[in-house]
Structure formats: structure tokens, C-alpha cells
Amino acid sequence: MSRRASLPGASELFRITSSPALDLPPQAPAEPVEPAAKPKPSGNGRADQLARSAAPHGSGRTKHDAKITVYVSGDELVAMEQARLTLRAKHDLVVDRGRLVREAVAVLLADFDQNGEESVLVQRLRVVGSDGGETEG
């Protein structure tokens, strides 16, 4: 008799465990859910762009299907951690760095959509050159 444990193979672990014939029909919600009102296109390109813009809030704690890597300086990371800890200590908001970044991006993009040329994003990018260094002048 072998002392080795008998484990299931990959075909057993990843097999389909339900049949479409056995699945129950979905239950109707207890109360009807009204779809969110969609803004009507006005013919104004800027207004249409605002209507299509990202949600006013970050996506929060949901499963995300896209990932980016952002490199930050040590000082930026410390500032982010201090902001995160201040949110927790003074505002009873427990957030992780990812949520903090998603909210910051949402705020910045909403400001850009609303203010365009006068947005914080445009103003800051004008001060910092395309290579990331300070511009002279």
C-alpha cells in the first residue's frame, strides 16, 4: 500500500458541476428595478463627452478587469500612506492604496471633463514638462 495521498486530477477539479437542464430559472426581483435615466444627446459635442465620461466616483471595491503599474517616488508613497492613515484616524474611512488612487483619478478626470483647459490636470501638466521635469520659464 502506497503512503502517497490519492488526489483528484485536473479533469476532476475543473469539471462542469451543473447541467443547463438542472439549473433553476432566475427568480424575479421582489420590487421592480427602474433603469437609470440616460442623458439624451444634445448635439453639443462637449455635453455628449461629459455624458459619456467616467463615473463621478472611483469604482471602489469591485473586481477589476484591467491593471496598470504606476511607479511613485518614496515621498509620494509616504504622502499617500499619510493621507490613507488620516482618512482612517480622522474620518473613519478605511481605504487601501488602490481605492485611494482610483478616487483621485476619478476626481481628476471629472474636473478635466468639466473644466477642460482650466482643469487642474491641464494646469499641472503645463508646469511639469513632458519628460516629467519642471519646465523653465
pLDDT of 2 > 80? The answer is no
Q: What pTM value is reported for the model?
A: 0.51
Give the mean model confidence (pLDDT) for residues 99-128: 94
Other Cβ atoms closer than 10 A to 51 = 14
**Chain Cα centroid distance, residue 101:** 8
The percentage of the chain sitting over the pLDDT mark of 70, rounded to a whole number, equals: 58
**Residue 50: is it exposed, middle or buried by C-beta count within 10 angstroms (0-12/13-18/19+)?**
middle
Region 66-88: what's the mean pLDDT?
Answer: 95
Mean pLDDT of the chain: 75
Segment 19-42 shows an average pLDDT of: 50
Q: Are 98 and 60 in contact (CB under 8 A)?
A: no
* Model pLDDT, residue 93: 95
User: Distances in Å between the alpha carbon of 77 and those of 60, 67, 74?
Assistant: 20, 19, 5
Distances (CA, A) of 5 to 9, 15, 71: 12, 21, 45
pLDDT at 108 over 90: yes
- Give residue 72's pLDDT: 94
